[in-house]
Amino acid sequence: MPRRAPLARLVLALLAAVALLVGLMGPTVGPAAAKKKVRSSADALHSLRAPVTDENFYFVMADRFENGNPANDDGGLGPDRLVSGFDPTHKGFYNGGDLAGLLQQLDYIEGLGTTSIWLTPSFKNKAVQLEDGPSAGYHGYWITDFTQIDPHLGSNDDLRALIEAAHARGMKVYFDIITNHTADVIGYEEGARTAYVSKDVEPYRTAAGVPFDDRDYAGTNSFPDLDPAVSFPYTPVLEPGETNLKVPAWLNDVTLYHNRGNTTFTGEDSYYGDFFGLDDLFTEHPTVLDGMIDIYKKWIGDFGVDGFRIDTMKHVNVEFWQKFGPEVLAYAHSVGKDEFFMFGEVFDTTKSFTSHFTTTDRMQAVLDFPFQEAARNFASRSQPADQLRSFFAGDDWYTDADSNVYQLPTFLGNHDMGRIGHFVSTDNGGASDAELMARDRLAHELMYFSRGNPVIYYGDEQGFTGSGGDQVARQTMFASQVADYLDDDLLGTDRTHAQDNFEPAHPLYQAIRRLAEVTTAHPALRDGAHQHRFADSGAGIYAFSRIDRSEQREYVVALNNSESPKPADISTYVGKRSFLRVYGDGPYRIKTSADRKLRVTVPALSAVVYESAGRIPRSKAAPAVVLSEPQPAEQSRGRMHVSAEVAGSSFYEVTFLAKVGDGAWQPVGTDDSAPYQVFHDVTPFAPGTPLQYRAVVLDNGGHTSSSQTRSTTVPLPTLTITAPADGGEVTRLADVVVQATVDPERATHVVEFQRSVSGGAWTSIGTDDSSPVYTAFDDVSALALGTVVSYRAILSEPDGTTVTSAPVTVTVAPPRPLVGTVTVAGDLQSELGCPSDWVPTCVASRLAFDETDGLWKNTFSLPAGTYAWKVTINDSWDVNYGAGGAAGGGNISLTVPAGGASVTFVWDQVSHVPSATVG
């Protein structure tokens, strides 16, 4: 249906733009000629080093580390595993680890070189969710009480004791926190774990039944009154014994949740859908935002927590983070936590996307998922070394005025994706233990010697491998009784998971401790400038320098991912200078040539580090700096790519400044490694807004020079139709869903959709202002088979400017099957002639595709009884649909009356909803 103009969001956007421009107002500074001294030394800034750029994190799942107090194993809930969640023989249940165990093993953790302990969520969880396997909340992500420690792990006093003991050793303690969801407590009258219903199909409604867009209110202090019986596409309900289960009490208000069904992790439902039934919080609502801020302030103030890792950050709206991050950080500073640090989980490997959260969203850092992928490709897969050159060159996506890439925590594996030991084993089938150990060690060398804060996932230092991610990557450090874990091989040792594995003599523990010792002794290797130096085009050497701006002593790091020794001539900043080996194997002393090349030979699958015997020579004058023409970045239209060429070869820091409209010059960010560049976030400014840029270079002698000024304007966004696919087919059985995305998305956007039939005139089919996926529905039921239909989208800016997408063209065609096979799987299969129940491959219970209506269906005779069932796709449980059409959803109940009956089973491949009709 046509949508109203987003007036509230328009007003908010205009007010924000005015406020931002007012903040930028000031005396206009004219263009500066190349190599002209800048008007103010304040323009020449140092590259930012936030308080947290030199931590060594140890990431630990408390339930899987050490059992220090067996009395709390069942959490006080008794011996029934389906009540307490405790079963030390099952990988999906509590195994017995706790905070007391962590306290007892602080010597072991500290001995690794750890400076910060990061705990998985430790708040009180729903002990068991029967719908999930069943499985238990041992991992900490099914929270019911945000104010107390899960009793399986101990008490609030146990946490306080752990933090105090860690602080006494000079270590910090970080909490893994959640703002996106709670445990699965809310059900729907329409069914359990139902399929997602989009806002375009069913908008939110006020308590009076009036449709509204929640994004009009996100980031404000007001929100419409809601009624659970009226406001949502599903009717939220609570079981009688769970009406006051959650703490704080405001979490028991079912109108503070999105209530739209299960997410598919794409588009709109990535923000609004339930994660496998977990109750997705209405984070656009001010009550939720303020409530979460209050919850986490208390853990800082009362317990002295040093920082947060934030779960599922990319699934929460931007307005939430823009307030949550600054307010929590300001509170931490107010209670003396000057180094308080937050980093988010953004499970994506595209820097243009992950950097959005540290720039636009105003958060301090994100976990470096792009690094994890790059490190695996280099160390485990021996992919071309020059891929790392390209990878690190993109670090400037994170550079802005208050953050940069040096703050990011880097890692090699985790509790979701799996361990580095698993990756090197699967990537190198048949390799010897010695080779696997070398590759594992090489990955850690890259992580410790390159920029960022390295994270060790508990057990990696003992050679843990596992067979994949999630539950099979969560072994206990204490002796395990889990069969799946007992089968695992451990790298570098003959020990097994049937034994405790707190062995400081393990070669990986020793290797990681050595890396921590080297980087502690040579701080430039932790947070010095990271400058590319050399990269082979195939497997071989990648080399870079690390330089502390104060010490001005160059370190050269060279890593070899080939299976044979490799030589390289590596550029440095100083000629005829001795470099001394501080790590790895090779000559103790090497001298650079007159042309400043350091010739090294790096052994196979290993690293070497050399330190200059003296400082980089002091520059006598600042070099010239020339600014390139600013251009919208290819990967993100909302970021302006601004780069500079610096004449010279020494240590330089280049500050980029922007002037927006008539505002004052403001720093965008400072880069301390070539290529010198920033990706300025221009999303807050309207298209056509004048922009000016210039660059100021600061050399290591304190001299400065500035570039010429370059002018441009904020570009128009791009508009892309994402569905239907160009050249595809549509059927007359259901409306065609036409969708478009905008880059960059702004709150003021309105998108109209049009169609053209058989090359005829363009006619409107709908308008939408609800991002992130703009949607319209087209009825093609009256069109003949073979008709060609084109679709396009037209975006309107507030000033009347329009942007038109490229068209997509489809053909009206008969319905066709979208999958290979559909099978009814459940405890009724043995009644249908299958050898057993719950078998996804049984031919006897398959459905057939009906070309007349596009449905999968079949009719079977069943005896009287009550059955549970769902459908599986392509002979596998990998894809299955349950109640309401939810992927992996709950079982569907079927009752056949006395005497038996014929039952027709149907699966709709468009909505994914299975159904059964008796008689």
Active site residues: 311, 345
CA atoms of 66 and 718, how far apart (whole Å): 53
Give Cα 719 distance to the centre of its chain. 25
Paired sense of beta strands 855-862 and 901-908, if any:
antiparallel
* CB neighbour list of residue 149: distance below 8 Å, 6 or more residues apart: 99, 122, 123, 124, 155, 156, 158, 159
By the 8 A CB rule, do 695 and 704 touch? no
Give the separation between CA 108 and CA 60, rounded to whole angstroms.
13
Q: Any idea what DSSP says for residue 316?
A: S
**∠355-359-365 over CA atoms, to 5°?**
60
Torsion from C-alpha of 514, 518, 520, 522, nearest 10 degrees: 180
**For the chain, what is the total number of helices (H) and then of strands (E)?**
16, 50
d(CA 386, CA 532): 10
- Cα R_g (the chain), whole angstroms: 30
- The answer for 596, left when phi > 0, alpha when psi is -120 to 50, beta otherwise, is left
Distance between CA 495 and CA 538 in Å, rounded?
Answer: 36
Asked if residues 526 and 514 have their Cβ atoms less than 8 Å apart, the reply is no
Give the separation between CA 844 and CA 831, rounded to whole angstroms: 10
CA dist 104 and 154 (Å) reads 13
320 close to 313: Cβ distance less than 8 angstroms: no
Query: What tokens does 862 get?
Result: 């069943």
Tokens 């020494």 -> residue: 650
SS3 for 3?
coil
- From 782, 870, 771, 781, select the one nearest 829 (Cα to Cα): 870
What DSSP letter does each residue of 710-758 carry, written as one string? EEEEPPPPEEEEEESPTT-EE-SSS-EEEEEEEES--TT-EEEEEEEET
CB burial string 308-344: b at 16+ within 10 A, e below: bbbbbbbbbbbbbbbbbbebbbebbeeeebeebbbbb
Which of 236, 146, 141, 250 shows the shortest CA–CA distance to 192? 236
| Other CB atoms within 10 Å distance of the CB of residue 777 | 15
Query: Distance from CA of residue 631 to its chain's centroid?
Result: 27
Check: CB of residue 122 under 8 Å from CB of residue 159. Answer: yes
Nearest to 211 by CA among 231, 190, 186: 231
- Residue 589, Cβ neighbours under 10 Å: how many? 10
Residue 527 to residue 53: CA distance in whole angstroms: 6
Alpha carbon distance 590, 596 (integer Å)? 12
- Burial bucket for residue 715 (CB in 10 Å: 0-12, 13-18, 19+): middle
Give the angle subtended at the CA of 351 by the CAs of 219 and 637, to the nearest 5°: 65
Residue burial 166-187, b: 16+ Cβ < 10 Å; e: rest: beeeebbbbbbbbbbbbbbbbb
